[in-house]
Structure 1
Amino acid sequence: PTDISTIFPKEDADPENESSYNFTTSDWYITGIIKAGCRVFYRLGESASNNETLRQPPKNFSKWAEICKHVVMHYNNGWANGYHYNITYWEIWNEPDLNGFWNGTAEQYYQLYNVTATTLKKYNPSLKIGGPCTSSVYNQNYTTLFLDYVKKNNIPLDFFSWHMYSSSPYELQKAAEYIDTLLNAYGFTGCENINTEWNINILTPQRDKDNAKNAAFTVSTIIAWQNTGLNHAFRYRGTQDNNWLTRLIGFDLSLFTSDGKYKTSALVYLAMKHITKETPLKLETLYFNISKGVAYLAGISKDKTNLSILVSNYNTKDKNFRINLSNTPWNGDYKMIHYVIDEKHHLEIVENTTLNKTDHTIFFNLKKNSVHLLWLTNSTRSPAEGPKIASIPLLLRIPLLDPVTKTLALLLLILIFG
């Protein structure tokens, strides 16, 4: 709905003329995001398509850049009966390293990026422009060689964007660190490191995208990124059309069902909302190796009323887990509320008890693919339990179908992306 070809449908039209543009669909989506209290990160380009024309580089880079400028004008400066949304981040194209999005050369993408970034920054220097939104951080054409070109030609690069789908939080952590290292090595010290698409491996069976395994994966990845140079990470995706074939082959990557019901992994963001809003000051914890499966994070409120501890076990065997508390900020009694996300609990309270010691040891069974939130407080307030989650259809819970669905998914990926 926000593709350039949708907004500017006639390639030979005049980019200066308001009548050349159709913002009807994009306005509905962008305004919906704003009304929900969110900020927009806008990708300029085209979605994956079997339309060969849309995969090709624009015929006229300067004209395409002017079209992009007028999209910015519409949403930020009221042009063409537009808005004043002050959208800051503008990403140029999407995954140009894949044939499903870009059938041009890497050099052609560099040129398109150059013309578009220069045009947009000339129009408004406060905009943040970036790319190349590569699907592989280890593809030199869109990492080192792209940075070579940008640096040599003094092209604006406010953020470097990349994508990754993986079964390993450790791999996602190392990717973020690698991009940070690259940016520093090339002297882009002020350039933001932004992941604009991530999720569990796309060939993972659908049930493991919808169940507690993905919840534990999500928590472990978010925790792993805390000590990297990553500035932002955008989960793909919120909702998705209720397409049975898409779900059967495991291509539904959404946090919510098409009618808005929570999936298990969406509960993680509810927990993180409580942690970041109410206990934003990060506390020191013992070192852990994310590749071993267990990860943890702790925070405290500015007034020292609330303390949170988040623990995940992603894909490793059950284990007894111990938390040693010391120097807690309360002299009197305080409450510990223990929430769990697993196959039986949807951010539900499993323990609510009163503690009265400054130093205390907490034990619990950390099951495989589970998430635990411990909320310690001397107030009467605590986070609400999570909502009921959508059930996973029986057909998607049958492991015997995995080889068939995985093969179909792989063939479809090859067909679209090469």
Structure 2
Amino acid sequence: MPKRLVWIVYLFIAILTLPLLVLFVQKAQQYISRAGGTRASIIVDAQSNLGILPRPWEALAQGGEEPPPMLQNLVGDIKNLSPRYIRIDHIYDHYSVVEKIDGKLIYNFSKLDETVSDIIASGALPFFSLSYMPPPISQDGQVTSAPQDWRDWESIVEETVKHYSGKANKNLSGIYYEVWNEPDLFGRWGTSGDPDYRLLYHHSVTGAGKATNTNSFFMGGPSLTSYQPTYMKNFLEYVSDNNLRLDFLTWHRYSYYPDDYSNDAQKARETLSGFSKYEGIPFFITEWGIDSENNPFFDTKVSAAHTVASLRQMLGNINLGFIFEIKDGPPPGDSPFWGRWGLITHENAGLSKKPRYEAVKLLSELRGNRVRVNGEGSWITGFGSKTGETIKLILSNYDYEGLNSENVPVTFSNLDPGSYIIDMKYTNGNTKKNEYVVTEGLISQNVIMNPNDVILLTLSKNASIGIFTQGRSEESGDSAILVSDAEFSLPLNAPLSSEGTISFDIKPDWDGRDSTERIILDIPIKTGTIPVKHITLKKSKIGFSNKLVFGIFDENTSKIVSAAVDNWLKGEWQNVTLKYTPTELTVLINGTPVEDLANNITVRGGDEIIIYPFKGALDNLVIESGNKEILKRTFDGSIDE
């Protein structure tokens, strides 16, 4: 083959394989990068208390997507997220608050009042972005320009504060007034030249200060598109030099990277360190999300995972992070999802709740004190809270590349002995429940997390079940529960069917001569009649003998079998098996049938078994319904499935 032809063949092959080579290199880079990442192994210290859990997610924002009212049909959905504040901008150019007639400013807050009423009905307070410039007072009629006369702007701010914070008007307390929205973008307001944001802020504070007979309110800014240290420093120097009020500091942040939120807070602390008068003021990110532009991620669980991961970085750094935004604007085409920022689609698109909405709803369940959570990884992060005996842990597997899946070990440590339930909720509505008995202070389980899963785990104590003792096997690690002082219940994984078995080991703290009546266990059931009946096992004295009595009881009737226990010795283990079918009740002691009863028996239902304080130890409790095991408790601290 001629050399020229050989080179042509080689070149043709190279061109064909180049895309595959590029893809291979990209994948290799991803795998190398991920090989350097850390897998999560979560440990929650149940006895830790890191103080009141900050809740920066209790703040929402709505942009000026369309003429008001924008929130009227969302009050209930917003209320479900438990926000404390809802931020709105465009209050002067979208709500027709002011006009100028014959040189006089005329105010009409009625449109804005409607939206404020919706905010209050949702359980929140308004957070006003004092924007934009009303055209009647703008120097060129544009809403992003400076006013013709700063006195007009001062008057508008004064009237706004009087209307909402004034005791003689709306009488709201704790309202925040933020001066402008993204001044570095809308109007190109700088910290020198024209227009100068520092003057805008100065005249805003002056106007607010003229309002009298008001409740407490707050003034702040500058609501930049991002944290810009030089801009902030110049702004703070002016505010400090002129002894102006500054109650909070604000900026926006749109980023794929959750660490950017905590990094911004650190920069803000560094900037404020030179201004002792303002050190310690709250930091608010008054708009944030994964992208400042339309992005398909806003419609998927990627944004949900990003939200939780970013809020994890805000904890202890950012006082409030205003999630932007509540509702999409009208869709431009037929698709209800178009990558817009909203937690909920527009009403023209069905008001569908996106995964990010569901993530915020899960977050709203976290309250009380923060608990220590160790073992976060490169992708899976989380935090938790404790209220009373209940611990809530939220985990996010944020990975915008959609590659990271983990089987995450989750351990709750330093738990008191007892019966516990873990409920798991996902943003897609799926739920899962597991039940545990704790003897050695630990619950451990693995949680499978696919890319961008968000999971809320709720650990609740089902019962305080006393102390534990050596189990029947007498092997190391085998425990039994002492049931002496209080009853407790265990949930059944499924209702009882028409036939089943209850078996357990019992070590009485009494002997067969004990004549005290003792209820050992009870399962409330339905038998197709009223009232509700019970499957019950108790020890009773019948005639001259002490017996275990097993049967179906109600207020008036009973169907029972019994077995003598006169020969039982205190502190000796016995195995008891109770069986029921549609035609028979049976008691077995240590594997030997003692008595059965032929009768017509109907059993269905039942969602828990109640163990009563019979004075003794219980081990290896198993309940079968049909051929299915619906409860197993070994009481040795391991996971019971």
TM-score, scaled relative to structure 1: 0.78
Give unmatched runs, 5+ long, in structure 1. Answer: 381-418
* Residue 113 (str. 1) matches residue 205 (str. 2): no
The answer as to 2:370 corresponding to 1:282 is yes
2: CA distance, partners of 1:13 / 1:317: 63
Q: 1:197 aligns with which of 281, 287, 308?
A: 287
Q: Which residue of 2 aligns with 1:311?
A: 395
User: Where does residue 321 of structure 1 map in the other structure?
Assistant: 408
Among candidates 442, 448, 452, match of residue 369 of structure 1: 452
Contact 1:3–1:47 (CA<8 Å) still a contact in 2? no
CA shift in 2, pair 1:240/1:204, >3 Å: closer
Structure 2 unaligned blocks of 5 or more: 1-67, 69-89, 464-641
Query: Cα distance, 1:183 vs. partner?
Result: 2.0
**Deviation sequence 1:353-403 (CA, Å, 0-9, x none):** 3343421222122211111111110249xxxxxxxxxxxxxxxxxxxxxxx
Q: Secondary structure at the match of 2:104?
A: coil
Residue 273 of structure 2 aligns to a residue in which SS? helix
Corresponding residue of 2:559? none
The aligned counterpart of 1:132 is 222
2:274 — aligned with what? 185
Which protein has the larger Cα radius of gyration, Structure 1 or Structure 2?
2
TM-score (norm 2): 0.52
Q: Which runs of 4+ in 1 moved over 4 A?
A: 245-251
Q: Taking structure 1 as reference, are residues 319 and 87 closer, same or farther at Cα in structure 2, changes over 3 Å only?
A: same
SS in 2 for 1:164: strand
Residue 21 of structure 1 pairs with residue 107 of structure 2: yes
Alpha-carbon separation, structure 2, partners of 1:10 and 1:48 = 10
1:153 aligns with 2:235: no
Distance apart, 1:77 and its partner CA: 2.3
CA distance in 1 between partners of 2:269 and 2:419 (Å): 44
- Report SS of the residue matched to 1:284: strand
Kindly tell me: are residues 68 and 119 of structure 1, through their superposed partners in 2, closer, same or farther at Cα, counting changes over 3 Å? closer
Q: Could you tell me how far apart the structure 1 residues matched to 2:187 and 2:437 are?
A: 59
Aligned residue pairs, count? 356
Counterpart AA for 1:176 = A
Report the AA paired with residue 306 of structure 1.
Answer: T
* 2:450 pairs with 1:359: no
Task: After TM superposition, give the deviation of residue 205 of structure 1 in Å.
Answer: 2.7
Instruction: Kindly indicate whether the alpha-carbon contact (under 8 Å) linking 2:127 and 2:175 is maintained by their aligned counterparts in 1.
Output: yes
Q: CA RMSD in A?
A: 2.7
State the match for 1:210 in structure 2: 299
- Describe the superposition over 1:122-147 as per-residue Cα deviations: whole angstroms up to 9, x where unpaired: 53583210010000212622x11111
1:252-291 paired onto structure 2 within 5 Å: 252-259=340-347, 260-276=351-367, 280-286=368-374, 288=376
More helix by share: 1
* Residue from 257, 263, 266 that aligns with 1:174: 263
What SS does structure 1 have at the residue aligned with 2:226? Answer: coil
Q: Given that residues 158 and 190 in structure 1 are in contact (C-alpha distance below 8 angstroms), is that contact kept between their aligned partners in structure 2?
A: no
Match for residue 461 of structure 2 among 368, 373, 378 = 378
- Written as runs of structure 1 = structure 2, the 5 A alignment for 1:19-168 is 20-46=106-132, 53-77=142-166, 82-98=169-185, 101-107=186-192, 108-123=196-211, 126-138=216-228, 140-141=230-231, 143-168=232-257
For residues 160 and 150 of structure 1, the distance between their equivalents in structure 2, rounded to whole angstroms, comes to 12
| Structure with the larger strand share | 2
% identity of equivalent residues: 23
CA contact (8 A) 1:203 1:250 kept: no
Distance in 1 (alpha carbons) for counterparts of 2:230 and 2:334:
32
Are residues 249 and 340 of structure 1, via their aligned partners in 2, closer, same or farther at CA, if it must alter by over 3 Å? Answer: closer
Check 1:275–1:104 CA distance in 2 against 1; reply closer, same or farther (3 A cut). Answer: closer
Whether the 8 Å contact between 1:180 and 1:193 is mirrored in structure 2 is no
Please name the residue that 2:325 is paired with. Answer: 237
Q: Shift of the alpha carbon at 1:52?
A: 6.5
Which residue identity lines up with residue 136 of structure 1 in the other structure?
S
Q: Does the C-alpha gap of structure 1 residues 298 and 193 become closer, same or farther in structure 2, counting only changes over 3 Å? A: same
Aligned to 1:298: 384
- Report SS of the residue matched to 2:451: coil
Distance 1:106 1:215, change over 3 A: same
**Aligned residue type for 1:352:** N
Give runs of aligned pairs for residues 338-353 of structure 1, distance below 5 A.
Answer: 338-341=424-427, 345-346=428-429, 348-353=430-435
